[in-house]
Every structure is written in C-alpha cells, then in structure tokens.
C-alpha cells in the first residue's frame, strides 16, 4: 500500500500516519481501565479465549514467543510459565502507556522471562526466524497496514513456526448479530462510566464492524505466505482464532 493511501480509522478515512497517532491516543486514554472494560464487554469470556489460544500454540519449554500488540500483558503472563525459565516471551506494542501497565503487572508476578519492546507491527525490529510462535490478541484490527504486518510476522517466525490471531469476528447468524449489535451499542456509555472515555469505545465498535470476516482474514494470511491456515469460531463467530504455519 502506498504510504499516502487513506486507511480506516473506524468509519473515517485518514492517512496512515494519522491512524497510527489516533489509535495511539485511544489506548493512552483507556490504558488504566482497559482490562476492566475487556471483562465487561466480553462478559469475561476473553480470558477463556486467551487460554485456548495458548493451548492451540503448541509452545513448549525453552521456546520463544512474540506477543504482538500485547498491551497490558495478559497473553504474555499466560505464555511465561509455559516457556519456563529457559524460554522467552517478548511483549511488543506501539503504545507505551499500555506496556507500562503490563510491565508493572508482570513484575508483580515475577515473570522475568518476559521482555518488552515498543515497536510498530509493520516493521518489527527482530532478526529473521527469531520466534517459534507469534500471537496477536484483539489487536490486528488496529494495525495501520495489516498485510505488511502479516508479512513481517512470517519473516520473524522460524520455519514451522505458528501465528495465532485472536480477534473479534463476524457472527454466523442474523439473530446473534442483531443481539450483538445491540450489546455493542452499550459500550460507549460503559466506556464513559468506567474509563471516562466514550469516543474510544465508539471507535472500538466501528473497528470491529470493519474488520475482515473469517474467510477474508484466512485469505490475507495465505497471501502473506502462511500455510495450513484455519480458524475456530467462539460464541457463534463473535470471536475467532486464526492459526497459520510458516513453511
């Protein structure tokens, strides 16, 4: 994508640079209440989905995991005991405020095998074949250039390495979609009450609506060079985990 091509920020079209700045502002404003809002918006189910993602990774002791767009470190905290003292988890995110919350949490839990890296998803500062597994938990829809990020993730994975993407997706039937849309309409008000910010959660709802559906994301991963791509729906397709392998 040319650097000046407009991209989506919710329902608005903005420049790539502006999207990066605006998304950064969203997460700076909500970092202090991000996890509380996640529990409210998912009714706690995001924690179960993340544990299932870890199970699907096949990660073993001593291996290396990249937790991209890892934010406050939920997934890093789950992977750390799996890789053990001889393994490594890198929590990478573009947003310093979110990583600050994550750093404090991980230090409190004594998870010294987790290191932090502030970086853009589209230009990862890691050598080729650095990781056995890369994961993205509810972050892909915020990337400025999803295709570029997927290609770079393929680069930093070892041959046979696994990419797992947990993301909001598209409900499988109209009745569920109608009910889910009504529930989403409550999120800006909840955000105002809990985090003091309605606009960030209005953007969240819009970003979910514009995110590629299950089949479209599967094709994007295949186009980026991943093989054996599959996805697993949760709660009727409200969320899904996509899994692909670097050949």
Q: Cα–Cα distances in Å, from 94 out to 127, 139, 148, 164, 246?
A: 18, 11, 15, 19, 24
pLDDT tens string, the chain, 247 residues long: the values are: 445 789 988 888 889 888 888 888 877 887 777 777 777 788 888 999 999 999 999 999 999 999 999 999 999 999 999 999 999 999 999 999 889 988 998 988 999 889 999 999 999 999 999 999 999 999 999 999 999 999 999 999 999 999 999 999 999 999 999 999 999 999 889 888 888 888 888 988 999 999 999 999 999 999 999 999 999 999 999 999 999 999 9
**Residue 207: per-residue pLDDT:** 92
**Residue 1: per-residue pLDDT:** 41
Burial of 65 (0-12, 13-18, 19+ CB in 10 A): buried
**Residue 33: per-residue pLDDT:** 74
What pTM, to 2 d.p., does this model score? 0.91
Extents of the domains making up the chain: 7-245
The answer to whether residues 67 and 90 touch, using CB atoms and an 8 Å cutoff, is yes
**Residue 3: per-residue pLDDT:** 55
Strands (E), 59-113: 64-68, 88-93
The answer to whether residues 169 and 240 touch, using CB atoms and an 8 Å cutoff, is yes
**Residue 27: per-residue pLDDT:** 79
Question: Distance from first CA to last CA of the chain, Å, rounded?
Answer: 25
Q: How far apart are CA 163 and CA 150, in angstroms?
A: 9
Question: In terms of CATH architecture, what is 7-245?
Answer: 3-Layer(aba) Sandwich (3.40)
Residues with Cβ within 8 Å of 216's Cβ and at least 6 positions away in sequence, in order, are none
**Residue 19: per-residue pLDDT:** 87
């Amino acid at each position: 994508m040319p650097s000046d091509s407009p991209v989506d920020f919710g329902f608005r079209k903005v420049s790539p640079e502006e999207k990066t700045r605006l998304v950064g502002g969203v997460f700076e404003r909500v970092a202090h209440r991000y996890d509380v809002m996640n529990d409210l918006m998912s009714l706690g189910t995001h924690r179960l989905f993340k544990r299932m993602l870890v199970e699907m990774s096949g990660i073993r002791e001593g291996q290396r995991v990249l937790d991209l767009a890892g934010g406050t470190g939920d997934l890093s905290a789950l992977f750390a005991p799996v890789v053990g003292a001889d393994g490594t988890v890198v929590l990478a995110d573009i947003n310093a405020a979110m990583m600050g919350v994550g750093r404090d949490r991980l230090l409190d839990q004594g998870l010294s095998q987790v290191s932090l890296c502030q970086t853009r998803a589209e230009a990862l500062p890691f050598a080729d074949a650095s990781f056995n597994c890369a994961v993205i938990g509810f972050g892909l829809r915020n990337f400025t250039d999803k295709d570029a990020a997927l290609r770079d993730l393929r680069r930093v994975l070892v041959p046979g390495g696994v990419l797992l993407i947990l993301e909001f997706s598209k409900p499988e039937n109209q009745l569920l979609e109608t009910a889910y849309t009504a529930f989403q309409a409550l999120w800006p008000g909840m955000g105002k009450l809990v985090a003091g910010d309605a606009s960030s959660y209005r953007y969240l709802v819009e970003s979910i609506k514009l995110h590629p559906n299950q089949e479209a994301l599967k094709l994007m991963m295949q186009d980026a060079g991943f093989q054996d791509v599959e996805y697993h729906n949760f709660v009727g397709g409200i969320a899904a985990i996509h899994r692909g392998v670097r050949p």
